[in-house]
Amino acid sequence: MRSSFVRIIIVCSALYALACGAFFAVLACFGADKEIWWGAAAFVLATAAIFAGYLLSLRSRMIEILDKLSLTVQSLIDGQDKQQFPVSEDNLLSKLQDQVLKLSGILRMQKLRYKEEGEEMKSLITDITHQLRTPLANLNMYNGLLADESLPPGKRTEFARVMRDQTEKLTWLMDSLVKISRLESGIIEIRAERRNIADTVLAAIKMAYPSAEEKELEIVFEGSRPVQLLHDAKWTGEAIGNVLDNAIKYTPAGGSIKVTLERYEMFARIDIADNGRGIPEAELAKVFQRFFRGASSSDTPGVGVGLYLARKILTEQGGYMKVSSEPGRGSVFSLFLPVDTAENL
């Protein structure tokens, strides 16, 4: 930068010297008297002094600007967004500083997001390893027992049934984990189409009905007028089905599950209420966590991914979930999907 500035000074000085030489040559050609020569010399010296002063002030200003730019870059390196140029001044340097600080903020947010995604992936791998360990150990143990030729036929049949149950649990767990990982990594794309959400709810109820019928549970659906909204019918049906499956598991035989659909100004609300055992208040904030199992759910099949997956699906579509419960009287899971861009037909 310094050599470039020196070259500029040399070129400008040479041009100025040529201009002065041409000026004096003109005076000599026309035979100017002594007073004109003295006046011309004074003018040349004055303009030379002004020009030199301007170049020195320009150099000083450039050094000051470069120092401030260097401090700005250094502050960004140190993770601080210090402003060296006044933001109140509407000039090129202030605009450049503002754009650099914005870029720094964007890069910082991207770095934070990548870090969070990395931590989430580590957590997911840890959870998967933990959840797979038990069924795989059980399968290995029962496989060894079945290899015993002296095992009574009754025990062999019992162990084979246990292995089948563990295999089904492992298959279901793997399917759920694959869905979660694909949703979190963005591999699965939510394909929203304008549909009647009541049809999606009814399809989910139909899929859950056989399990409810085995426990002699009654599922009642109450829906208002058709609500047309943008949603992915397949994945939304999966979310509703997971909540229904959870209600069926924790509702005693002969109980009932009530599904209601209402439309508000900004959201469509789906309530799934059961009269099961309910959820303790201390666990309400944890029910949507991945692999969370309540203290009283050890005798109920499941691994704790259904509600987590349901909320993830709704979140991907701009919705959310909440739960209210009273131990001994049942729970109500509320699913919300946005309808602000939809038209009710």
Q: Is the dihedral of CA 4, 10, 15, 20 positive or negative?
A: positive
Same fold, 124-185 and 193-338: no
What does the pLDDT read at residue 137? 79
pLDDT at 127: 65
Domain limits, the chain: 2-84, 124-185, 193-338
Least confident interval from 67-71, 251-255, 270-274, 295-299: 295-299
What confidence tens digit (pLDDT) does each residue in 70-114 have? 776 766 666 666 666 565 556 666 667 677 777 777 777 877 777
Q: What is the pLDDT of residue 276?
A: 85
Architecture (CATH level 2) of domain 124-185? Orthogonal Bundle (1.10)
pLDDT of residue 83: 62
CATH class for the region spanning 193-338: alpha beta
Kindly tell me the sign of the dihedral angle through the C-alpha atoms of 102, 106, 109, 115: negative
Instruction: Answer yes or no: is pLDDT of 25 > 80.
Output: no
pLDDT in tens, 170-200: 777 777 777 776 666 665 677 888 989 999 9
Classify the C-alpha dihedral 291-279-333-217 as positive or negative.
positive
Closest residue by Cα to residue 236 from 140, 316, 176: 316
Token pair for 126: 């840890």
Could you tell me how far CA 82 lies from the centroid of its own chain?
28
What is the spatial distance between Cα 293 and Cα 133, in angstroms, rounded to a whole number?
17
